Amino acid sequence: MTIHNPPRPALGGRLFNRLRLGAAASLELIHPRRACLLDDISSTGARLRIDPAPANGAMVLLHFHELKVYARVIWSKSNEVGLQFEQPLALEDMQGMLWITNNRDLYERICRDGHAQDWADGFGA
């Protein structure tokens, strides 16, 4: 074997050893973030309105307040889509959603004041 020949696959098909790092990194996703309206949510999925709707089967990252959850588009019609989450939401996240439902005015004021404070502090764009 010369230096230019790749090694033969080892048992399991991997050509090269992998290093287990467990180190922080980042990954830029291809698709831009788009605004949507979150109509309803459960621990395993959500229905939202977005135009244009992503294709069935598309992988998406739903951002809501401080929640970020990976999901797959499982149906779409017109400007509505159904999402199925990769992992069910934690009980605490669902309790937070219930709090928002029961305290809508306060939630919107907290968001509005928080964005204003972030702008005053020089955070965000």
Cα angle 52, 56, 57 (rounded to 5 degrees) comes to 130
Summarize the confidence of residues 99-107 as an average pLDDT: 88
Strand order across the 59-64 sheet:
37-41, 45-49, 80-85, 67-77, 59-64
CATH of the domain at 48: 2.40.30
Q: What is the mean pLDDT of residues 50-75?
A: 88
Higher pLDDT, 15 or 53: 53
Match 């017109």 to its residue by tokens: 78
**pLDDT at site 108:** 87
> What's the pLDDT at 28?
46
48 contacts 39 by C-beta, under 8 angstroms: yes
Asked if residue 19 belongs to a domain, the reply is: no
Range of the domain at 80: 37-112
Residue 82 lies in a domain: yes
- Secondary structure, 3-state, 8-60: CCCCCCCCCCCCCCCCCCCCCCCCCCCCCEEEEECCCEEEEECCCCCCCCCEE
What confidence tens digit (pLDDT) does each residue in 63-79 have?
888 888 899 999 999 99
CA 109 to chain centre: 24
User: How many folded domains does the chain comprise?
Assistant: 1
* pTM score: 0.67
Q: Is residue 74 part of a domain?
A: yes
For residue 105, is it within any domain? Answer: yes
Q: Tens digits of per-residue pLDDT, 14-32?
A: 666 666 667 665 554 556 7
